[in-house]
Amino acid sequence: MKYLTIKQASKLLHVTPLTLRNWDKKGIIKPYRNPANNYRVYRLDQIENFLRRLESSRAQQTRRKIDLF
């Protein structure tokens, strides 16, 4: 199991670490905590799953667009 720091996870998601902290507060994506220092860590598969959900959500939104002339 590979774990990522908040900085590494934020780079993969193209957001700031502050955004990840805010998402944690809102329950959008929950980090694990390092038992030694209580730092936020994210599982790589968790981040990949989140990215897949974002992509599928974006794909659904583009299908819903209607062009009005």
Residues 6+ apart with CB under 8 A from 51: 12, 13
**pLDDT per residue as tens, the chain (69 positions):** 899 999 999 999 999 999 999 999 999 999 999 999 999 999 999 999 999 998 888 777 766 666 666
> What's at 56, amino acid-wise?
S
Cα(15)–Cα(66) distance, rounded to whole angstroms? 29
Query: Which domains can be identified in the chain, with CATH numbers?
Result: 3-60 (1.10.1660.10)
pTM, two decimals, is: 0.77
Smallest CA-to-CA distance from 29 within 51, 11, 7 is with 51
